[in-house]
Amino acid sequence: MLDYKLLEALMAVIDQGGFERGARYLGLTQSAVSQRIKLLEARLGQPVLVRSPRLAPTPLGRKLLNHAQQVRLLEGDLLGEVPALGSGEQRLRLAINADSLATWWPEAIGRFCEEHPVLFDLVVEDQEVALKRMRDGDVAGCICDSPTPVQGARSYPLGSMRYRALASPAFVARHFADGVTPVALRRAPAIVFGPDDRLQHRYLAQHGVEPPFPHHLCPSSEGFVGLALAGLGYGMVPERQAERELSEGRLLEIDAGPHLAEGRLVDLSPGHVIDVPLYWHHWRQGGKVLDALTDHLLRLGDAWLTPLSTA
């Protein structure tokens, strides 16, 4: 039988990103956590962690983390049904892309938490790589752009995040005075969320432009828009976020006539959008709260996202 105190140490080290922070989370010394990991590896006869070049679970470690995630969720269900066993907070560790977190996710979760008391541990990850978190056993669910689930999980389509290429009027005047041409796009600085963000590449490919291209890196949705507003570059902004800015009088399309002077951002390519499909993934044996969250997201997803194309 597995010693769940040892698995708890493994989970804490991975969740918290290191032995020292994992020990603080568990209220133990770093030496005690290290000894638990060593004991787990000794009993299994093989390592569960790779220490270098960065801390990560081995294939066996990933299997143990996946198992421990599901056990923790099922235990939460049991505590809710059998109070005599004790009390404990129900937590869900999920990987969410930053643009969802900055737009539709808080509203969706706010409604869910009105009926389900749960605490969320959100890991911000690009939608193209969030699934790796599940594969590593780091999270119980994730939002990503792949419809294919990892072993032991399910996936469901939620809808699409629609993006538009936006920049400040001053930036457009400075870099695109002669229009949005391939030559101008090769010279104008773009804003890219991070090294895994390929949206800008897709936009440039639509205009016949291949990398490399000048760009800022800004791993913050709010900061991303802030850089665009300040005229540092142009970038792909979620349409939902753009519509919110529009309702506040901060965004106008480039063909907005006499109101253009009031806008702080303009659309470089009106009528051209990039849709990124989003899928919800979760463990099959994730417990009632995870199942309830899945039902909630599928029931109300159309209110937040663009329906996926069936073409």
pLDDT by 10s per residue, the chain, length 311: 678 889 889 988 988 888 999 999 899 999 999 999 999 988 888 899 988 778 888 888 888 888 887 777 777 666 666 655 555 567 788 999 888 988 889 888 888 888 887 889 898 888 777 888 888 777 889 999 899 998 888 999 999 999 999 999 999 999 999 999 999 999 999 999 988 889 999 999 999 999 899 999 998 888 998 899 899 999 999 887 766 544 444 444 433 332 233 468 889 988 888 999 999 999 887 778 888 999 999 987 667 788 776 54
Q: How far apart are CA 198 and CA 192, in angstroms?
A: 8
Global pTM reads: 0.73
User: Which single residue is written with the structure tokens 């594969």?
Assistant: 135
Q: Residue 269 CB: number of other CB atoms within 10 A? A: 15
Rounded CA-CA distance 191/200 in Å is 8
Closest to 224 in 3D by CA, of 164, 170, 269: 164
Q: How many CA atoms lie within 13 A of 182 on its CB side?
A: 8
Start-to-end CA distance of the chain, whole Å, equals: 50
User: Which residues lie closer than 8 Å to 231 by C-beta, 6 or more apart?
Assistant: 167, 168, 170, 171, 174
**Structural contact between residues 55 and 22, judged by C-beta atoms closer than 8 angstroms:** no
| Distance (Å, whole) CA 287 – CA 69 | 10
Burial class of residue 275, CB neighbours in 10 A (0-12, 13-18, 19+): middle
Say which residues have a Cβ less than 8 Å from residue 10's Cβ, sequence separation at least 6. 36, 37, 40, 48, 49, 57, 61, 64, 65, 68
